Amino acid sequence: MRADGIFIAVEVSDAAASDAPLAAKLAEACPVDIFAQAESGALELVERNLDECVLCGLCLTAAPDAGLRIVKLYDGEAPLIHA
């Protein structure tokens, strides 16, 4: 699953996107509501909020094994790396 904004893109593995507990964790972690949980429990990317990303890395910390990538489209598709 991938959604592109003007400045960033968000990529999540399909397996992670269908994981309800993970979707809830990501929705809670993001301060600008890029992630939401559908009624089915699956992860949704809120495209209108993508470019609100502040590159805080809280999503990467919350779900380090989710196959999640934040891609900086303005920087040659460089991934956000969070220690």
Taken in order of first residue, the domains within the chain and their CATH numbers are 2-79 (3.30.70.20)
Q: Which of 37, 32, 35 is nearest to 56 (CA)?
A: 32
**pTM above the 0.75 mark?**
yes
pLDDT at residue 66, as a whole number: 82
pLDDT one-digit tens code per residue, 16-66: 899 999 999 999 999 999 999 999 999 999 999 999 999 999 999 998 888
Compute φ and ψ for 80, nearest 5 degrees: -75, 125
Q: Which of 77, 81, 82, 83 is nearest to 9 (CA)?
A: 77
